[in-house]
Amino acid sequence: MIIIKKTIVSASLLACDFASLAYESERCAKAGVDWIHFDAMDGHFVEQITYGSPVLKAIDKVTDKFMDVHLMVDNPERQIPLFARAGADLIDIHIESTRDVFGCLEEIRAFRLKSAVAVKPNTPIEEVYKYLPLCDMVLVMTVEPGYGGQSFMTNMLTKVSKLREYADKNGFSDLDIQVDGGVNVRTARLARNAGANVLVAGTGLFGAADMNAVCAALKGI
Ligand code: DX5
Ligand code: ZN
């Protein structure tokens, strides 16, 4: 049976005013976003360094929103317990970042959190199939990880549709598929049609004149 999954909007704080994280989180909640997307970058797996578990802990204190943590770090196994204790609701690791993807997913689940794997644009989607029994979600990156404000790579849509088809045919129809990078109302429609249901938006939301309107439009896709 094919399940049509609900659209979930996850606001990426990467595009917000870092001097006002509490206010910005509240603004997202008021706009009606479903999740808050927290991009942790370590300066190794990707070039930039953003923020870590102490910052997540501070934000988690001021919002009830579901915290969707995207780890762009080498050796994510070291960070999982820290982020789990800091208030993550979901932890997403890159399969390119560790030799022990299974161990990481098991650890995330041992904390009773939702678990996910992410793939960079050059990683074939088939490489995630073996991890699906331990995943609630797969993140198909639609830009090279590392920076906000890039353009959505439409050639990633075939990865999304392949994954959706594979998941539905192999008993994983509950799987959430997330797209991240360059998501706006136009590209979100393409992603949704390909089978993604979790839409991460940074610049699309924080750069909008009317965040509430963009959020409503994304949720309506
Ligand atoms: C990129 C991050 C994304 C980024 C998306 O490495 O994983 O979450 O913040 O930002 P926009 O929506 O601006 O492309
Ligand atoms: Zn992200």
Residue 69 lies in a domain: yes
Residue 3 included in any domain: no
pLDDT over 90 (residue 5): no
Is residue 2 assigned to a domain?
Answer: no
In a domain, residue 204? The reply is yes
Per-residue pLDDT band for 1 (boundaries 50, 70, 90) equals low
Check pLDDT > 80 for residue 3: no
How many structural domains comprise the chain?
A: 1
Mutating to test ligand 1, I would choose from 180, 186, 187, 218 the residue with most ligand atoms within 8 A of its C-beta, which is 180
Domain span at 12: 8-219
Distance between Cα 18 and ligand 1 center (Å): 15
Q: Model confidence over 42-68: pLDDT tens digits?
A: 999 999 999 999 999 999 999 999 999
In a domain, 111, yes or no: yes
For residues 22-28, average pLDDT: 97
Structure tokens belonging to residue 166: 């594979």
Asked if residue 4 has pLDDT above 70, the reply is yes
Is residue 15 predicted with pLDDT exceeding 80?
yes
Question: pTM value?
Answer: 0.97
d(CA 97, CA 146): 14
Average pLDDT over every residue of 120-147: 98
- With 0-12 / 13-18 / 19 or more C-beta atoms within 10 angstroms meaning exposed / middle / buried, residue 133 is exposed
Cβ within 8 Å of residue 173, ≥6 positions away: 1, 2, 3, 167
Mean predicted lDDT score pLDDT of the chain? 97
Please report whether residue 25 resides in a domain.
yes
Report pLDDT for 180: 98
Residue 74 is part of a domain; what is its CATH number? 3.20.20.70
Helix (H, G, I), strand (E, B) or coil at 137: strand
Rounded distance from Cα 139 to ligand 2 centre (Å): 9
Residue 71 has pLDDT above 80, yes or no: yes
Distance, CA 73 to ligand 2 centroid (Å)? 12
List, for residues 152-187, the tens digit of each pLDDT value.
999 999 999 999 999 999 999 999 999 999 999 999
Is residue 83 domain-resident? yes
Q: Which residue's CA lies nearest to atom 4 of ligand 1?
A: 148
Specify if 1 maps to a domain.
no
pLDDT of residue 164: 98
Residue with tokens 């997307």: 37
The full length of the chain comes to 221
pLDDT of residue 2: 63
